[in-house]
Amino acid sequence: MAELQNARNEAWESAEKWRKLYNTESEQRRTDNQLAQQAIASLNEHLQKIKGIDEETQFDCY
């Protein structure tokens, strides 16, 4: 009976370890996703500024 309890406890500890690892990795993916979204927004803003400069330059040529 003690062997079964030890096996159960080891299985539980292993499951807890994997659950914590999964949660840590999941949180990292969410953080990476947020940073990527911020970078995309920043690049889009920069692109819009560049497009605005190009449009102004085109009108100056006429």
pLDDT tens-digit series, residues 9-56: 999 999 999 999 999 999 999 999 999 999 999 999 999 999 888 776
Structure tokens that stand for 59 in this block: 């009108």
How far apart, in whole angstroms, are the C-alpha atoms of residue 23 and residue 33?
A: 15
Residue 58 has pLDDT above 70, yes or no: no
Short-list 31, 8, 28, CA closest to 20: 28
How far apart, in whole angstroms, are the C-alpha atoms of residue 21 and residue 14?
A: 11
pLDDT at position 61 is 56
